[in-house]
Amino acid sequence: MTKEKIDRINELYHKSKAEGLTEEELKEQKALRSEYIMAIRGSIRSQLNNIDIQEADGTIVNLGEKFGNKGTH
């Protein structure tokens, strides 16, 4: 997600608090927030997929290999 889109999310938020948003701006805000959430989820999923955990028996398990193929939420 680009800095411009994040700035636009913030701009729409501040405008909504100050004077309200038009229907078109509400739709834009919803779409931008959805895109932002998807980007955050993707980033976290990527980080978790690269974590290795050592089990009690000494084996090392990669979280991405163990849980990564269970789909997206």
State pLDDT tens for residues 19-72: 999 999 999 999 999 999 999 999 998 898 889 999 999 999 998 888 876 555
Looking at residue 42, its pLDDT comes to 92
Q: What's the confidence (pLDDT) of residue 1? A: 87
User: At a CB cut-off of 8 Å and minimum separation 6, what does 35 contact?
Assistant: 1, 5
Lowest mean pLDDT across 6-10, 15-19, 44-48: 44-48
Q: Considering the entire predicted model, what is its pTM?
A: 0.71
What is the distance in angstroms between the CA of the first residue and the CA of the last residue of the chain? 19
Q: Where are the domains of the chain?
A: 3-68
Sign of CA dihedral 39, 40, 41, 42: positive
